[in-house]
Amino acid sequence: MSQPTLPPSAQRRALLAFYDANARDLPWRRDRRPWPVWVSEIMCQQTRVQTVVPYFDRFLARFPTPASLAEATEDEVLGLWSGLGYYRRARLLHRGAKEVVARYGGEVPAGREERLGLPGVGRYTAGAIGSIAFDAPEAVVDGNVSRVLARLHRIETPLGRADTEKRLWAEAERLVFGPRPGDLNQALMELGATVCTPRNPSCGACPLASACAGRAAGVAESLPVPKVKKAPVPTHLVAVVATARGKVFLRRAQEGGLFRGLWGPPTLETRPAEPAQLGLLDAAPKPSAKDTHRPAPDADAARAALASVGLSARVEATPRGQVEHVLSHRRLFVTVFRAVAARLQRPDDAQRAFDDAALGDVGISRLTRKILAAGGFR
C-alpha cells in the first residue's frame, strides 16, 4: 500500500462525521453537565459500557449532584456500586464529591488544575470532563484511544512505557485542538470501541483508513504492543460462612486489606494447598479412612479465621467448595467452610449479621457473593 495521507484537519472532520452518524445512544451522552460526565467516566474505567448503563442510571437517580453523594454514607455508596468492581473508584468519587462541596460550593470546577486536584481525577478524567462538559480543548487517552492512535501512527513501543504514553498524548492533543473537543474525544473512543476493535478491526468502515500507517503496513492487528504485566500472584485463603437464625456474619474489610470498606465473611490467608486441592474440591481424591479422623488443615484455618474476629461457632469438618477470583494483581483460591453459631455478636460498624434482604443495601464484592453461594447462604 502507498504511504497514507490525510491532514489532521481532515482527520478531525472525518472523526466528527463518523461520530455524528454512529454515536451510540448512551445515557451520559444526553446530559453534558460535569457531574454526570464525571460519574460516567469513573464507572466506565475498566468496565464495559453495557454493564455500566444500569449502574449509572441508578447512581444518578440517587445522587443527582455532588452534594447528594457527599452526604451519603460509604455503605450506601458501595451498596449502589456492588457488582461493578474496582471499589476504590467509588470511594474516590465519594471523596471527590465531598471536596467539591467543601472547596467549590458543590460545583465541579471548570479549571483544569482544580479538576486535577480532586481525588480520583487524573489526566484522563480531567480531560473528559473538560472537553465534554466545558468545551475545553483537552485530550483523553484511554484503552480505546490508545489502540486507535497506536495503529494510526504505527506506534510499536509497548503501552505503559513513558515514551509511548508521551507520544499517544501528543497525538491525541494534536487532534483535539479545535471546535467540538468533547465530540472529537468521544469519536476516538467510539471508533476504538466499535470499529478499531482489538481483534478483526473493521478497517473498511473506518473514517481514518486512508491515514492509517498500521493498516498500510499490514500490522494493525498486532498493535498496540501490550504493556508488560506481572502475572497475578496466587493467594490461598479460607473463608467461613457463619450463620445463626437465618443470618450470616460479615465484617467490614479494613484499611490495608483487599476490598476495603466492603462487607465479607471472615477469611484467613493460608499456605498454598496441595495440587489436588487447587482444582474444584469435587475433583480431589477422596480422603483415606485415616484422614477422615483428622481435621483437614484448612478446617483449623477456618477456626482461626473465626477466632481472629472473636466469633465462636461450630465449623463443619469438610469444606463446602472452593471459589476462584482474579484481581489485577492476585489470583485468589478460596476454600469455603460453613459454620453454625448459637448467636452472633452485637452489631457495630465493623461487624454485623445480615439476612438475605439486608445484603442488598450494603457493598459486597462479587467474590463475597460467590463465597456465600458456595457456603449455601444465597
Contact residues: ligand SF4, CB under 6 A? 148, 151-152, 195-196, 201, 203, 206, 208-209, 212, 214-215, 220
- Tell the smallest beta-carbon distance from residue 200 to ligand SF4 (Å): 10
Q: Is 255 a catalytic residue?
A: no
- The dihedrals phi and psi of 377, each to the nearest 5 degrees, come to -90, -40
**Per-residue burial over 284-299, b = 16 or more CB atoms within 10 Å of its CB, e = otherwise:** beeeeeeeeeeebebb
- Please report how close the Cβ of residue 211 comes to ligand SF4 at its closest, in angstroms: 8
3-state secondary structure of 239: strand
Shortest spacing between CB 163 and ligand SF4, in angstroms: 21
Contact 266/308 with Cβ under 8 angstroms? yes
Nearer CB in complex with ligand SF4: 58/174:
174
> What minimum distance in Å lies between the beta carbon of 186 and ligand SF4?
16
Among candidates 17, 76, 74, 85, which has minimal Cα distance to 51? 85
Q: Which three cell numbers stand for residue 342?
A: 448459637
- Cα separation, 40 vs 142, in Å, equals 14
Strands (DSSP E) contained in 202-316 are 233-244, 247-252, 263-264, 267-270, 314-315
The number of angstroms, rounded, from the C-alpha of 4 to the middle of its chain's C-alpha atoms is 37
Q: Please, which residue, 149 or 306, has the CB nearer to ligand SF4?
A: 149
Q: Give the nearer residue to ligand SF4 in terms of CB position, either 110 or 217.
A: 217
Least separation in angstroms between residue 209's CB and ligand SF4 is 4
Which residues, in sequence order, are bridge partners of residue 364?
A: 263
Q: Which of 198, 360 has the CB closer to ligand SF4?
A: 198
> Closest separation between CB of residue 38 and ligand SF4, Å?
28
Pairing, β 351-354 against β 330-340: unpaired
Q: Would you say the C-alpha torsion 255, 258, 261, 264 has a positive or negative sign?
A: negative
For residue 124, the number of C-alpha atoms closer than 13 Å in the C-beta half-sphere is 18
d(CA 205, CA 302): 57
Closer to ligand SF4 by Cβ: residue 125 or 144: 144
Q: Which of 41, 74, 171, 190 is catalytic?
A: 41
The set of cell numbers assigned to 25 is 445512544
CB 248 within 8 A of CB 353: yes
Instruction: Considering the complex, state which of residue 5 and residue 288 has its C-beta at the smaller distance from ligand SF4.
Output: 5
Residues marked active site are found at: 41
